Amino acid sequence: MRLRIEHRTHYEFSQPQRRLVQLLRVTPPSFDGQAVVDWHVEVDCDARLKRSRDGYGNEVTMLYVDGPIDRIALTVGGEVLTDDKAGMVQGAPEPLPVELFLRPTPQTIADAAITEFARDIAESAADPLSRLHGLCGALWRQIRFDAGDGNPHRDAASTFADGHGVCQDHAHVFVAAARVLGHPARYISGHLWRSDGQNVQPAAHAWAEAWVDGYGWIGFDPANGASPTDAYVRVAIGLDYRDAAPIAGARVGGGAETMHVEVAVAEAIQQRQSQSQ
């Protein structure tokens, strides 16, 4: 597919801010099955941008703004060509060894309930791949999607106990369960083109990848119960949300902030839309 993405983030502050510093992980890499045709990061005020790569290989943009400033709009987006690789990820930057992704983090600890859930599924699965697909499908059925749930600091165990959450919560539970079964697993932040026509969403997407010997990294989207296709644009990876989140920011100036996010993902070539539905 040829996908056009516009990811807009708008902040308003209750009082003028002296400074803003933000760390953005919003630029997708190119690899097998994902080619970034063009990409931009734009800010609607005077700002200094510095680009670099982090330890995971993610492209990072630092954003520095001097105040006084009481609002800022950030627009990132562009066009990406995608192929359906049945979830398999090849040719992406991989500076870190696979074993790193066995490490639980505070947000991805498998408690007794997640461990039992994961082991039950593992018992009924013939091989690692079907085990992970089983995990993905079961979480999709078991954890109800609830758009009003967004709390970026919630951990896997709370989500699993509550039985509902947003895509990043699904991803955290999947990662925790896969790791407890001995599969390296990681958190992915990115974008999803939806075939139901709801092309403007209030957040970016998130899913997971697990390592299977003989296959490599394979994507699993437990919020949708399936592996990523050419409708997915993969942006950043990490052990959990904290390492891969699109924006981490700090500001000097006190007061409160309101944030509004809008992500539009559309097919750049309209005629192909009917074929995909």
Partner 1 sequence: MRVPAFDEVWGSAGPDASREGFEALAAWIADTPPHELNRRQQAAEAAFRQLGITFAVYGEDEAAERIIPFDIVPRIFAASEWRNLKAGLEQRVEAINAFLADVYGPRRILRDGVLPAELVLANPQFRPQVAGSRPPHDVYAHICGIDMVRTGPNDFFVLEDNARTPSGVSYMLENREAMIRLCPELFEMFPVEPVDDYTDLLLSTLRSVAPHGRGSEPVCVLLTPGHFNSAFYEHSFLADAMGIELVESADLEVDDDIVWMRTIDGRVRVDVIYRRLDDDYIDPLVFRPDSMLGVPGLMAAYLGGNVTLANAPGTGIADDKAIYSYMPEIVRYYTGAEAKLPNVETWRCREKQALTYTLENLDKLVVKLVDGSGGYGMLVGPTASKAEIERFREALVAEPHRYIAQPTLALSTVPTLTEKGVAPRHVDFRPFCLSGADGIRIVPGGLTRVALREGSLVVNSSQGGGTKDSLILADRPRRRGKTTVPEVAPLRSGAD
**Which residues here bind partner 1, judged by CB under 8 A?**
19, 21-23, 48, 50, 52, 54-56, 60, 62, 64, 66, 95-97, 99-100, 102-103, 105, 153, 239, 242-243, 248-250, 252
3-state secondary structure string, 97-160?
CHHHHHCCCHHHCCCHHHHHHHHHHHHCCCCHHHHHHHHHHHHHHHCEECHHHCCCCCCHHHHH
Between 16 and 163, name the residue whose CB sits nearer to partner 1.
Answer: 16
Is there a contact between 86 and 32 (Cβ–Cβ < 8 Å)? Answer: no
Q: Alpha carbon 272 to chain centroid distance? A: 25
What is the nearest approach in angstroms of partner 1 to the Cβ of residue 272? 38
What is the nearest approach in angstroms of partner 1 to the Cβ of residue 109? 12
What is the nearest approach in angstroms of partner 1 to the Cβ of residue 145? 25
Is there a contact between 244 and 25 (Cβ–Cβ < 8 Å)? Answer: yes
Between 40 and 53, name the residue whose CB sits nearer to partner 1.
Answer: 53
What's the one-letter identity of residue 41? V
Element containing residue 253 per DSSP (H, E)? none
What is the nearest approach in angstroms of partner 1 to the Cβ of residue 60? 7
What is the nearest approach in angstroms of partner 1 to the Cβ of residue 242? 7
Is there a contact between 226 and 141 (Cβ–Cβ < 8 Å)? Answer: no
Between 171 and 245, name the residue whose CB sits nearer to partner 1.
Answer: 245
Between 99 and 196, name the residue whose CB sits nearer to partner 1.
Answer: 99
Q: Which of 149, 129, 106 is nearest to 240 (CA)?
A: 106
Between 64 and 90, name the residue whose CB sits nearer to partner 1.
Answer: 64
